[in-house]
Amino acid sequence: MRTYDAIVVGAGHNGLTTAAFLAKAGLDVVCVEKNDYIGGAAVSRNLYQDWIYSNCSYVCSLLRPEIFRALELHKHGLQITPFGGSVQFMENGDYFGAYHDPEVAYRELARFSRRDADNYKTYRADTMRQCRFIRDFLLNTAPDPTSFKPGDLRELLEIGGKFAEMGEDRMYETIRFWTMSVADYLDEYFETEVIKAAKAGSGIIGTALGVYSPGTAYVLLHHYMGEVDGNVGSWGFARGGMGAVSNAIAGAFQAAGGELRTEAGVDTIIVKNGKATGVALENGDEIDGRLVVSAMDVKRTFLKCVERSELPDQFVHRVENFKIRGSSGKLNIALDGLPTFPALPEGSSLINSDMHFIDSLERMERAYDDWKAGTWSKDPYVDMVIPTLSDPTMAPPGKHFMSCFVQYCPHQVEGRAWTSEEKDAFGRTVIDQIANYSPDFRDLILHVEVRTPEDIENEIGITEGNIFHGELTMDQLLFNRPIPGFAQYRSPVDGLYMCGSSTHPGGGVMAAPGANAAREILADLGRQNTVPENFGDD
């Protein structure tokens, strides 16, 4: 029987990225996927007539441009188009818009507070400083602070050097930043509630934490450090939906000779004499491989797919306690036309922007309270975009696809499976909130796909449907991600690697975990590295 050089488990964007870089290095690689389509949570689905849904992830900016370039993703159909601006609808009928034009943006801030308007540039500079510090580590393996290996020491020295270079005051700022809440961070710059609410969304997206929870300032950064064509902080749409990202990486993988197998869900990763030797599929087939790379989250990998007896107890204990909590849901909606938002002036550019329907930190924290009580937010933070305003490929002319990301939505309702009534009620909550600001919205709805974390887990396989494959808190970042001592893509089992978003630097469709894992694997094999280096200063 054929023995592959590497078996990658899971054809999400990270699995495909690892697979592509390994294949480019000349390895014989197969990537197996349980579903009959690839992409994992970076996927475009045709679920209603001629509509294409980005039904999990929905915007793109964190995808590392180094990877885009190295895999020549443009040749495989990927095109990222920037979109600008956001709007926050307010209960009092007003709105706060974030405009693309800096002077118009300034005027809008000054409409609420001139102080906030003038402080915005300081906020931006301070946040960008933290971004620059972390961005350099995205395409690097996190060094182990307990290791005395030359590579780790060199990397640690580099981090220390970059840190010291900041100067005393900024070093203090950085240490504070990494542990503080997004609300406390924003309070240092802004006095207007709706402005803080507008900025705070990025601090909680995908996170089972509230705006006042310590550690959420970092989550804000995680969303801020992306870029589109060097414009750090901007976001874009993948033409054709987020599946275009996975499809393009898959294209690069196949062009390099890789083999893709769908409907090939892995039941067990086979371990013999402490070494991974292949996988047993759910259909009973076995595939032999010299090594196995799991793109599944760390819990699914080690608690469901590896015999417990093959793993050290303490390691398993830590995996069991890894925080990966379902906190976000999604509505994907086919629309018969473009809904109107009467609060916005006629012809406003804000119709093209990211829309939100919550206007204070307090409302956001209350939304979190519902989640803590085991239910979905009755007044949720919704991140709503209409990609078809700029992408002609996702709906028929004149029709639209609307993506609503919903924070918070529990994995299970009060600890038990969702009922269909509850799922409907969750969907209605979101539709009602939007309809409060758009009277014609409800009548334009042709089809709705409601996705709870449970649905995402059942379909994609991510534990609790957590979009980041694990919380982005300090105890689970860098050399702590996913498990201290196993933060360099290797596992306690020889020949078994991790390349999913549970590993450094985490989720967000960056493809960085996949690339970093490939680099470590190639180093272990003594193969030439095919993974690009950081572009460096920006």
Partner 1 sequence: MIPGPVHQGRLESPFYARLKELDTVNEWHQWKGYTAANELYCAETEYFAIRNATAVFDLTPMTKYRITGPDALDYLDRLVTRDMSKVAPGRVAYAAWCDDQGQVIDDGTIFHLREGEYRLCSQERHYGWLLDAAAGFDVDVAHETDDVAALAVQGPTSYSVLSQLGIAGLDALKPFGLMHANFRGADLVISRTGFTGDLGYELWIEPYKAAALWDALFEAGELFGIRAIGTIALDMARIEAGFIAVYEEFLPADETVRTGRSRSPFELGLGWLVDFKKPNFNGRRALAREYRDGSAWQLVKLDIEGNKPAHHAYIFPKEKRNKGDIGFITSAMWSPVCKKNIALGTVRAPYGKPGDALWVEIYYQREMHWSRKMAQATVVDRPFWYPDRRGATPPGPY
Q: Does 112 bind partner 1 (CB under 8 A)?
A: yes
Give 169 or 421: the residue with its C-beta nearer to partner 1. Answer: 169
Q: Does 115 bind partner 1 (CB under 8 A)?
A: yes
Give 123 or 315: the residue with its C-beta nearer to partner 1. Answer: 123
CA distance 154 to 225: 24
User: What separation in angstroms does the CA of 442 have from each of 129, 143, 425, 449?
Assistant: 43, 51, 15, 14
Burial 276-309 (b: 16+ CB within 10 A, else e): bbbbebeeeeebebbbbbbbbbbbbbbbebbeee
Among 69, 75, 114, 176, which residue interacts with partner 1 (rule: CB under 8 A)? 114
Stretch that binds partner 1, among 115-123, 424-432, 460-468, 524-532 (CB under 8 A): 115-123
Q: Does 100 bind partner 1 (CB under 8 A)?
A: no
Among 72, 165, 424, 533, which residue interacts with partner 1 (rule: CB under 8 A)? 165
Q: Report which of 507, 472, 478 is spatially closest to residue 203, judged by C-alpha positions.
A: 472
Helices vs. strands in the chain: H and E counts, helices first: 17, 22
- Within 177-196, the residues that bind partner 1 by CB under 8 A are 189
Site size toward partner 1, by CB under 8 A = 35
We find the least distance from the C-beta atom of residue 437 to partner 1, in angstroms, to be 15
Give 348 or 390: the residue with its C-beta nearer to partner 1. Answer: 348
CA distance 276 to 99: 52
E strand segments, 109-244:
227-228, 231-232, 235-238
Interface map 326-355 toward partner 1 (x if CB under 8 A): ------------------xx--xx------
CA distance 187 to 183: 6
Q: Does 197 bind partner 1 (CB under 8 A)?
A: no
Q: Does 159 bind partner 1 (CB under 8 A)?
A: no
We find the least distance from the C-beta atom of residue 94 to partner 1, in angstroms, to be 7
We find the least distance from the C-beta atom of residue 227 to partner 1, in angstroms, to be 14
Give 345 or 374: the residue with its C-beta nearer to partner 1. Answer: 345
Among 128, 156, 159, 523, which residue interacts with partner 1 (rule: CB under 8 A)? 128
Sequence-distant (6+) residues with CB within 8 A of 221 are 127, 130, 131, 134, 177
305 token code pair: 């797919």
We find the least distance from the C-beta atom of residue 538 to partner 1, in angstroms, to be 10
Q: Quick one: DSSP state of residue 217?
A: H
We find the least distance from the C-beta atom of residue 133 to partner 1, in angstroms, to be 10
Question: Are the beta carbons of 448 and 332 closer than 8 angstroms?
Answer: yes
- Angle, in degrees to the nearest 10, between helices 13-24 and 243-255: 20
We find the least distance from the C-beta atom of residue 518 to partner 1, in angstroms, to be 31
CA distance 107 to 166: 32
Q: Name the 3-class secondary structure at 290.
A: coil
Give 132 or 239: the residue with its C-beta nearer to partner 1. Answer: 132
Among 106, 212, 315, 535, which residue interacts with partner 1 (rule: CB under 8 A)? 106
Q: Does 170 bind partner 1 (CB under 8 A)?
A: yes
Which stretch of DSSP H or E encloses residue 13? helix 13-24
Q: Does 161 bind partner 1 (CB under 8 A)?
A: no
Amino acid letter, residue 369 = D
Amino acid letter, residue 305 = C
Backbone φ and ψ for 47, nearest 5 degrees, come out as: -115, -10
Q: Quick one: DSSP state of residue 180?
A: S
Q: Does 149 bind partner 1 (CB under 8 A)?
A: no
Q: Does 107 bind partner 1 (CB under 8 A)?
A: yes
E strand segments, 408-493:
445-451
Backbone φ and ψ for 288, nearest 5 degrees, come out as: -95, 140
Q: Does 121 bind partner 1 (CB under 8 A)?
A: yes
Helix, strand and coil content of the chain, in percent to the nearest 5, comes to 40, 20, 40
User: Ramachandran region of residue 416, left (φ > 0), alpha (ψ -120 to 50) or beta?
Assistant: beta
Among 50, 72, 118, 288, which residue interacts with partner 1 (rule: CB under 8 A)? 118
- Within 448-507, the residues that bind partner 1 by CB under 8 A are none
Among 36, 103, 414, 421, which residue interacts with partner 1 (rule: CB under 8 A)? 103
Q: Does 5 bind partner 1 (CB under 8 A)?
A: no
Stretch that binds partner 1, among 38-46, 117-125, 196-204, 383-391 (CB under 8 A): 117-125
We find the least distance from the C-beta atom of residue 126 to partner 1, in angstroms, to be 8
Q: Which residues bind partner 1 (CB under 8 A)?
A: 94-95, 97, 101, 103-104, 106-108, 110-112, 114-119, 121-122, 124-125, 128-129, 132, 165-167, 169-170, 189, 344-345, 348-349
